[in-house]
Structure 1
């Protein structure tokens, strides 16, 4: 997640009024850690210490922490007293720290995902079922275990989608950044189980990973091979990264334009199906013609296009995401 940069603007009265109303109904789940009676006392204590400016945020934050608290988390009152951050420069600094550190964490998580996907995506060796299992493995960290998620929830409470739609138009850029921080740890692991994802049919399961183009079989309009022998690019990350990488090589524009033409054929589903995966055919994308090479000469041959398989996969993924929402 990329957080919005902080802009120091005082909260408008209308916004604070809305916050005061909404905090009464926020985090309505019953506290799980036996802190029902303590939560009210903690709210009153913090409100007395920090005043009306933080009153609504204290009510909402303490209430949401109480709803996620478990007996093993320790002393509820001591935790809230220690970790509550008053409005002002200290809170702005905390928001900047969250932005920076979550960028580090999620950046490394992305690197792990790419590394686990690499054998399946690049087909650099025969892919095994173990490779597929690693590819779908998502390392998880319990940010509640050391209290980090609870501390963020205390200071940057969560708002439901309905609340965001109702009040979002009144929020400043900074207030939106605070709300987005509250989205980070909405529930504890295992508290809410979402709907089962829509399973892709077997014939579409490996669509992305098998979508490898043999670039040494792609021809320019002058019938010249434009890429070195053995160049294999995945149609998603591979083509994109090759366009970027070509900027550092000599005379990149013709090859970049060739890749651009290939991408248009993929999007329009006019790409020859015989060019997806290992192939003995040659393809001239500008005219969308396919050839077989015989005795050093290219002989044009008929072909069939991909026939919208790409959009079947995208549709399945869209339906799965809609169910999650």
Structure 2
């Protein structure tokens, strides 16, 4: 769930989250790595570049020839006419190229200190500006939204080019594309890796106004989602029956999904509740949901008949005017405007995958396609049918019956969590104890917990990582006045995992430029690992001898679900680029059709039904563009980590693994567990589980 914010050096996780790691919604887009040979608009001719290289070689010899050529060419690709003449560029390179290793090391250390200061303080300012939008501080004013949409670091890029700092870094720490990083991954030492990550910073020159435009669009989309609550106590069946408590308010889609999961334990009313929630979801997807029932307790609603009531009388209504899809379009147009500044990474799709995720999109899609066609999924589906005693329904993509908690009444879990955590302060105070239960020493647990603040979230919750030593990461969690219910606790433990990663990968890092993780998938993995231990942290033990096999089936099934929605997310963005002038109505139809096509291709053979739109309900697609695919990789990484951790000291290994920082994904995984990222270990465990359960 993370949702995170972009820093100068890393995009950690949300939900980076779901508001999660929400990393700074576009803190500095320019620092998203991009593969580029030459930037359009450079006035520096090849003859000048060659002349500079020759002069530098005469001055220093050829001991750094490869880096010298790479740096001069890269700096030239970023130079513009308003930066100076070709002669001035020549003088700059001759004056600022650093040949001696010790001098370059000193330069690197100073730059790292400055960047940490910029990242850390901008991050703190952004936290303050977004406080009222992100946290439950009372009614929102228009001015709150205006400040939340302001990106404090938006002009930093242009400032660093104007004062030539960017060129000094690009000249001496040139960018290495992903192919080169993978080539040298096993040969580079930690210092060389940190140097390469500094080289990621200056790759494209994006105008500040375009960065600001995306920051505003993304903030509005996030706010739209954070206020999309359904008053469940005001819903009625067609014959007028109330299924949910008066005070139940669920955020779309997270809380709606979690309620479906919880209702598997309610054999009597659960199926009726699940059917109603799915109907609500379909109304949201189709945008024929009455606009007045969104975040509004003043009306009653029969979602099956789609009838609206006020004071017991049916009233006419206007449906939501495709607002959901307009948010996607707003993000798309803002990001597409930036494309021209990345000659090779000229779509957000490429920047997101080959850049941020460092795994090319076709490779991601191929992995998803292979897994979703696995025959094991149909076998798991047949087992679920047997356990439920009925045919599969579309919302069974969230079947929760393999988990221990599925056999425990939700009320029992709620009573426990509400008693433990009546407010954010109580959860904060218990964090050292939670870490000790997971194996950390008293001293280490207290240290990690001391670097995490807990805040009351307006939305479902998220984790926000610190960007500077001395600052705290923030766990945002939603706690009703009655105390933290189990759904909220489950999310909070997930976010806590993000915060632990954020703390380890900042405070235990040897080089600031290496802080964080390779991509959001890796912080999601630890969040999932924490989340899977939520009952253990409540003191509830599982004595079932088949737990190992049940967990494998749960992993296999949930991976199908999240890969399916990730596939929808990718296909929607491909459609957007193929139809850049589409309006919200056209996009709505496209999203629905894509979700049905993905369902029919991969899910229909398992579920036996066609044309289900459920995969389009995910809120991430609205406010966190192309974030969903990271979750699938997060689950794959989680599974491989869990397999590796068996029989080992949990806390020591987590510290070791997450101290690696920002290696490339595959190198990180090989050094963590000795193998590359793969879905095969999940399928192997599923095969074993199917045999054992049968």
Equivalence for 2:70 = 60
Shift of 1:138: 1.3
Equivalence for 2:95 = 82
Specify the SS of the correspondent of 2:619. helix
| Alignment TM-score, normalising by the size of structure 2 | 0.30
Q: Check whether the contact 2:78–2:205 (CA below 8 A) recurs between aligned residues.
A: yes
2:277 matched to 1:51? no
Higher helix share: 2
Query: Structure 1 CA distance, aligned partners of 2:461 and 2:140?
Result: 19
Shift of 1:170: 2.5
- Pick from 489, 495, 502 the counterpart of residue 263 of structure 1: 489
Using CA pairs below 8 Å that are at least 6 residues apart, which structure has the higher relative contact order? 2
Deviations 1:103-125 (A, max 9, x none): 10011111121111111122424
- Pick from 172, 176, 185 the counterpart of residue 189 of structure 2: 172
State which drifts further: 102-111 or 220-229: 220-229
Specify the SS of the correspondent of 1:72. helix
Shift of 1:56: 0.8
Against the structure 1 CA distance between its residues 153 and 259, is the aligned structure 2 distance closer, same or farther, given a 3 Å change threshold? farther
Query: Structure 1 CA distance, aligned partners of 2:164 and 2:417?
Result: 64
Against the structure 1 CA distance between its residues 137 and 321, is the aligned structure 2 distance closer, same or farther, given a 3 Å change threshold? farther
Specify the SS of the correspondent of 1:320. coil
Equivalence for 2:620 = 314
Query: Structure 1 CA distance, aligned partners of 2:193 and 2:221?
Result: 42
Against the structure 1 CA distance between its residues 321 and 159, is the aligned structure 2 distance closer, same or farther, given a 3 Å change threshold? farther
State which drifts further: 180-189 or 30-39: 30-39
Q: What pairs up with 1:21-170 in 2 under 5 angstroms?
A: 27-29=37-39, 32-74=42-84, 75-139=88-152, 140=154, 141=156, 142=158, 143-170=160-187
Q: Check whether the contact 1:121–1:209 (CA below 8 A) recurs between aligned residues.
A: no
Query: Structure 2 CA distance, aligned partners of 1:44 and 1:95?
Result: 25
Query: Structure 2 CA distance, aligned partners of 1:34 and 1:86?
Result: 22
State which drifts further: 233-242 or 111-120: 233-242
Deviations 1:158-211 (A, max 9, x none): 1112222233233222211111101111111249x89x89x88x9974444779
Shift of 1:263: 2.3
Query: Structure 2 CA distance, aligned partners of 1:36 and 1:220?
Result: 71
Query: Structure 2 CA distance, aligned partners of 1:315 and 1:118?
Result: 23
Deviations 1:228-270 (A, max 9, x none): 7999821536998589xxxxxxxxxxxxx968874216789xx
Specify the SS of the correspondent of 1:157. coil
Query: Structure 1 CA distance, aligned partners of 2:109 and 2:72?
Result: 22
Q: Which has the larger radius of gyration?
A: 1
| Alignment TM-score, normalising by the size of structure 1 | 0.59
Q: Check whether the contact 2:418–2:485 (CA below 8 A) recurs between aligned residues.
A: no
Query: Structure 2 CA distance, aligned partners of 1:154 and 1:51?
Result: 17
Structure 1: runs of 5+ lacking an equivalent: 4-24, 244-256, 269-285, 287-307
Specify the SS of the correspondent of 1:179. helix
Against the structure 1 CA distance between its residues 182 and 259, is the aligned structure 2 distance closer, same or farther, given a 3 Å change threshold? farther
State which drifts further: 38-47 or 122-131: 122-131
- For the aligned residues, what is the CA RMSD? 4.6
Specify the SS of the correspondent of 2:63. helix
Against the structure 1 CA distance between its residues 204 and 76, is the aligned structure 2 distance closer, same or farther, given a 3 Å change threshold? closer
Q: Check whether the contact 1:152–1:182 (CA below 8 A) recurs between aligned residues.
A: yes
Q: Check whether the contact 2:424–2:456 (CA below 8 A) recurs between aligned residues.
A: no
How many residue pairs get matched? Answer: 244
State which drifts further: 143-152 or 35-44: 35-44
Q: Check whether the contact 1:121–1:210 (CA below 8 A) recurs between aligned residues.
A: no
Against the structure 1 CA distance between its residues 321 and 148, is the aligned structure 2 distance closer, same or farther, given a 3 Å change threshold? farther
- Pick from 451, 455, 461 the counterpart of residue 236 of structure 1: 461
